[in-house]
Amino acid sequence: MLLSEARELYLQDVIVDGKRYDRYLDDFINRHRYIDCNHAVCRNCHEMNIHIVKGLLTECANLVKSLFIADSFSFEECMEIKRMYDISESLSITGKCCIDEPISNHPLSFGCNFTREQMAGIVSCANTYHLFCIPVRIEDMEALFACKEGFYLRVNTVRYVAILFDALLENTFIQSHWQSVLNRGRFLRSKDDTRFVSASSLSSALSAARNNMTSVAYGIRKAIGRLKE
């Protein structure tokens, strides 16, 4: 599916490598302009699909970006955005443009507001399940969720840290773009301290964890769920 390929390239080129959105868009369209088929029906079908995707990436950029950085990426969500694109007024008529500033220019924020007790619960969960290479304190978690510049933690197991943040999202403690925030802020480093953990690594780890839920993963989700009590 073209949108799935567009998402993979977006996460790598824009989120990880910092490429400008408009240049990413041009590169993606140019890469997929032609297909290796001489049948008129196939070529017409591809031309129609690439036109739709270009329209989505251009005229619904903000919606598409939100979809691309979200944890889930379903066919139903893609079709809903296409439906909104089909019924919305053309940009050529409105004169508007929703290709906004590159996401990297926006201030970093998880959109969270934890109480002291909730922060203590997150710290307890992180230390109980050894999410990071060293025990963390409330001050460490406060720095992380405040997006303190230059701060980072070494991750013991990426998939369990991904589960932690996914559970926070599921319980509406943080916003859906947490992978992008962690990536842009470089707040997580690998266990061997050789690289920062990217958004694509977090996304892949979360998918793997969801497909093979362990007692640790369930324990993390349960611990975060209790923060609302």
What is the rounded average pLDDT of the residues 100-122?
79
At residue 84 the predicted structure's pLDDT band, cuts being 50, 70 and 90, is low
Contact (Cβ atoms closer than 8 angstroms) between residue 102 and residue 61: no
87 token code pair = 């019924």
Look at residue 46 and tell me whether its pLDDT is greater than 90.
no
Look at residue 109 and tell me whether its pLDDT is greater than 80.
yes
The larger pLDDT score, comparing residue 61 to residue 168, is at: 168
The pLDDT of residue 220 is 97
44 Cβ neighbours under 8 A, 6+ residues apart: none
What is the rounded average pLDDT of the residues 106-118?
89
Domain ranges across the chain: 2-103, 116-228
The pLDDT of residue 13 is 87
> What size, in residues, is the chain?
229
What is the rounded average pLDDT of the residues 84-111?
56
pTM over 0.75: no
Q: How far apart are CA 152 and CA 172, in angstroms?
A: 23
At residue 94 the predicted structure's pLDDT band, cuts being 50, 70 and 90, is very low
Q: How far apart are CA 78 and CA 176, in angstroms?
A: 17
Q: How far apart are CA 116 and CA 202, in angstroms?
A: 27
123 token code pair = 């710290």
Q: How far apart are CA 214 and CA 157, in angstroms?
A: 13
2 Cβ neighbours under 8 A, 6+ residues apart: 32, 49, 50, 53
The pLDDT of residue 126 is 97
What is the rounded average pLDDT of the residues 64-69?
78
The pLDDT of residue 227 is 94
